[in-house]
Structure 1
Amino acid sequence: MSSFRSEPILWIHVAGLATLPIFLFLCLLFLSIGEPLLPVWMEIFLVAAIGVFPLLWMQFRRPFYIFAILGVALKPENLTEQQRKILCLINTNLNRALALLAAILLVGVLWQIYQVAPRVANIVGFLPQWRSLSLLLAALAFLASNLFLQIPVSVARVLVTNDTEFAAIKPLPLEKIQQDFTIVGVRVNNILPQLFQSLIGRNTSSQPPLEQNSDEL
């Protein structure tokens, strides 16, 4: 049986962390548009509220179902025993604490971004200087930033789990998956296998037959 760390979806979600700087940069650009309409603390609160609270509430109440990507989700009934064990590690108090810490960290980053925003206003000077719209776009960019931090943090907690601890976990019952997790996307029978099979087949076909080569020699 392969290690739970070889589960492809885990590494795909970890790789999503690479998009975090992109969304934070977009948030910076949107905050640099227009003159402030509200006091500093209120604008930061509005952006943080939209960007943090929905995801934090989700992670505390019904965590994101990680066997989903790009608008499709693996049907719960198709999960393997190992995958249902992974879900047990996602829905824990430790992960909730990590979600809270990640949110606090990003709010601190948001404060720094807000301070820097006026210095890059010249980059977006050609855009309409509509402050209300720019605040909304900044909040949505900040929401995406939180999403692409919260999920990798949850997955990282799984990856550092001790093998002995993982082996002792009982798989999450099928009926609990619907109750305990937020499943986003169209539900399908599989997400990744066809892609990996095609890659494996391509690599195999590209290798010269060993017997033929030995005969030619």
Structure 2
Amino acid sequence: MSFRSEPFLWIHLAGLAVLPLFLELTWLGLAIAESLVPVWLELILLAIVGIVPIAWMQWQKPFDIFSLLFVALQPQQLTSQQRQILRLFKTRKHRVLTLFAVLAMGWALWKLAVFAPLAAPAAARLTQSRGLGLGLAIVGFLGSNLFLQVPISVLGVLLTSNGQFEVTEPLTPEEVSQSVTVLGFRVGNILPTVASNNL
């Protein structure tokens, strides 16, 4: 079976659909109340809190895509093909894509700040506290980065040639535990029907 048929790849690629919602939340947060400090200082704070943690994770220990919500497959349950996919998240191409996403989100943050006044009518319905606004913006921008970085990485895997994939050495179960970030509990099965019939 082609590695491109792996359902977890498509599940996480679909995360791009959530990106606009988090960007809108960031935009709304930036429009709440007047800034008490220079806008550029707020943007630096947002960039540090929103971009750096996700980019660092993807650069050092990429997100484990064999997970849903708060559960992830145990390394011993991963097939050889799945561990090959995880190996691709450790390549130079993956890091280039991570850097591209960082630049894209930096540009997006600047544009959201420039056009923040356009969101003022919607923001006027909320408590006019700059602290609340920054809190919403931080949550929104952190989510935006997560739901861009992970799908971009998945897209990089999907664009890998069949020949390159075939010569990719799978991570060992021990290397999986050391090489990827798990945001949740390890379990034996997540998609039992797919796992038993297709993998």
Distance (whole Å) between structure 1 residues aligned to residue 7 and residue 192 of structure 2: 10
What does the per-residue CA deviation read over 1:157-216, in whole Å, with 9 as the maximum and x for residues that have no partner?
11111111111111111111111111111111111234x59xxxxxxxxxxxxxxxxxxx
Deviation at 1:126, TM superposition (A): 2.2
Distance (whole Å) between structure 2 residues aligned to residue 81 and residue 3 of structure 1: 13
SS at match of 2:51: helix
Residues 54-203 of structure 1 aligned to structure 2 (within 5 Å) = 54-194=53-193
The percent of aligned pairs where both chains have the same amino acid is 49
Deviation at 1:71, TM superposition (A): 1.0
Deviation at 1:133, TM superposition (A): 2.2
Alpha-carbon RMSD across the aligned residues, in angstroms, is 1.2
Partner of 2:22: 23
Structure 2 letter corresponding to 1:70? L
Distance (whole Å) between structure 1 residues aligned to residue 59 and residue 15 of structure 2: 21
Q: How many residue pairs are counted as aligned between the two chains? A: 195
SS at match of 1:84: helix
Deviation at 1:123, TM superposition (A): 1.0
Deviation at 1:72, TM superposition (A): 0.9
C-alpha contact 1:50 1:140 (8 A) present in aligned 2: no
Distance (whole Å) between structure 2 residues aligned to residue 5 and residue 128 of structure 1: 47
Partner of 1:51: 50
C-alpha contact 1:47 1:136 (8 A) present in aligned 2: no
User: TM-score if structure 2 supplies the norm length?
Assistant: 0.94
Unpaired stretches in structure 2, ≥5 consecutive residues: none
What does the per-residue CA deviation read over 1:97-140, in whole Å, with 9 as the maximum and x for residues that have no partner?
21111011111011011111112211121211110221122011
Structure 2 letter corresponding to 1:139? I
SS at match of 1:149: helix
Structure 1 letter corresponding to 2:158? L
Unpaired stretches in structure 1, ≥5 consecutive residues: 198-217
Distance (whole Å) between structure 2 residues aligned to residue 120 and residue 157 of structure 1: 34
